[in-house]
Amino acid sequence: MSALATLISFDTALLVAGIVALYLGAEALVEGASRLAIGLGLRAAIVGVTIVAFATTTPELFVAVLSGLGYSSDLGLGAIIGSNIANIGLVLGISALIQPMGVSTATLRRHVPFMVAAAVTLVALGLDGNLSALDGVVLLVILVAFTAFLVYRARSAKADAIGTDEIDIEDEDEVSAQFKDVLYLGVGLVLLFVGSNWLIQGGQGLLAAYGFSTRFIGLTILAFGTSLPELAASVISAVRGESEFSIGNVVGSNIYNVVAVLGILAIMVPVKVPASTISLDFPALLVFTFGVIALMLRNRDVSRLDGGILVGSYLVFFWLILP
C-alpha cells in the first residue's frame, strides 16, 4: 500500500471516529441537559428551542473554535454556514418527509425572528470580508437578548403552571438522578472535544489529499458531521409526532450557531470571509432561511412536499459548491 493510500485510510478512520464521537457526545449532552431542564420545571417546547438546541450546537462550537485556533478561522466559518444550511435543507427536509410537521404560532412569532436576525446580521457584518472582535460582540449581544427573552418566557410559563405553590425539597432519588444527568453532561463534553479534533483532522486530511479547498471541507464534511445531532434529534421527534420539538431544535440551533459560536470565534481570532462565501454561501444562507419561513407561513406546517423541496434545494447547493 502506498504512503498516500495509507494516509487516506487513516484520515478516513479518524473522520468516521470523529463523527461517531460527536454523535455520542451530543446524545449524552442532550440527555443530561434536557432531563435536568425538565426536572427544573421547563416545558418541552422551551427545552427544545433552548437547552437541546444549544446542546446540539456544541459540536459546531468545538469544531469552529478548534478550527480557528489550530487550523484556519474560515474553516470554522464554513462549518457554521454549511451546518445552518444543512439544518434547514437536510434536517427539516428529511424530518418532514418522514412525518409532516405543524408549526406553532408561538415559534413563528417568538423564535423565527431571532433566526432571521442572526442570519441577516451575520451577512451584514461579513460583507467587508472579515468578522472582527467587535462583530463578535454584536453577535453575542443578540445571544444575550435571545436568551433573556427565553428565560423570561420560561419563568412566566412556570409561574402560570405552579401559581404560588411552594416547590418541594428534592428527595434522595431526585438528587441521585441529577448527579447522573451531570455525569452525562461531563461525558458528553469530553466526547465532543475528542470527536471535534478527530473530525477536523480526518476531514481536512482526507479532502486535502484530493485537492479540495478549506471552504469546501467546512461547508460539507465538517458541516454534515456537526449537524448529525440535530438530524438525529429531529428525526426521532418526527417519528414520535413531536413536530414542535423538531422545528424548535432546528430554529434554536441555527440561532446559536451564528450568535454564540461565531460570536465566540470572532472574539478569539479574526475570521476571514472569503469572496466565494460572500458571493454564494451568504446568499444561500438567506435563501434557505427565508425560504423555509415562507413554507412555514403558507399552511402553518412543513409538508412532505416541502420536505422534498428542502432536500432538493440542498442537493442543488451542494452541486453549486463543488470545485
Grid coordinates belonging to 20: 461517531
Domain residues for the domain of 30 are 3-161+178-321
Please state, in angstroms and rounded to a whole number, the distance separating the CA atoms of residues 145 and 125. 18
Please state, in angstroms and rounded to a whole number, the distance separating the CA atoms of residues 266 and 120. 17
The answer to whether residue 166 is domain-embedded is no
Q: Are 99 and 240 in contact (CB under 8 A)?
A: no
The answer to whether residue 168 is domain-embedded is no
DSSP class of residue 302 equals E
Strand spans (E) along 111-164: 130-131
Q: Are 261 and 64 in contact (CB under 8 A)?
A: yes
CATH code of the domain containing 18: 1.20.1420.30
Q: Of 298, 250, 227, 301, which is closest to residue 112 (Cα–Cα)? A: 250
The answer to whether residue 167 is domain-embedded is no
The answer to whether residue 273 is domain-embedded is yes
Q: Are 237 and 99 in contact (CB under 8 A)?
A: no
Contacts of 87 (CB under 8 A, 6+ apart): 227, 230, 250, 253, 254, 257
The answer to whether residue 170 is domain-embedded is no
pLDDT of residue 40: 58
Average pLDDT of span 235-258 = 78
The answer to whether residue 266 is domain-embedded is yes
Least confident of 96-105, 131-140, 220-229: 220-229
What would the pLDDT profile of 145-198 be if each residue is shown by its tens digit?
888 887 777 666 555 544 444 434 345 555 555 677 778 777 877 887 777 777
Grid coordinates belonging to 52: 437541546
* Residue 20 clears pLDDT 70, i.e. is over it: yes
CB atoms near residue 9 (< 10 Å): 12
pLDDT of residue 89: 93
The answer to whether residue 41 is domain-embedded is yes
Average pLDDT of span 32-61 = 64
Q: Are 251 and 112 in contact (CB under 8 A)?
A: yes
pLDDT of residue 298: 85
pLDDT of residue 128: 92
Percent of the chain with pLDDT over 90: 23
What would the pLDDT profile of 226-241 be if each residue is shown by its tens digit?
777 777 777 777 777 7
pLDDT of residue 76: 77
The answer to whether residue 242 is domain-embedded is yes
pLDDT of residue 322: 81
Rg (CA), the chain: 20
Q: What is the chain's mean pLDDT, rounded?
A: 78
pLDDT of residue 201: 74
Q: How many helices (H) and strands (E) does the chain have?
A: 16, 4
* Residue 120 clears pLDDT 90, i.e. is over it: yes
pLDDT of residue 251: 87
What would the pLDDT profile of 276-311 be if each residue is shown by its tens digit?
899 999 999 999 999 999 998 888 888 899 999 999
How many structural domains compose the chain? 1
N- to C-terminal Cα separation, the chain: 28
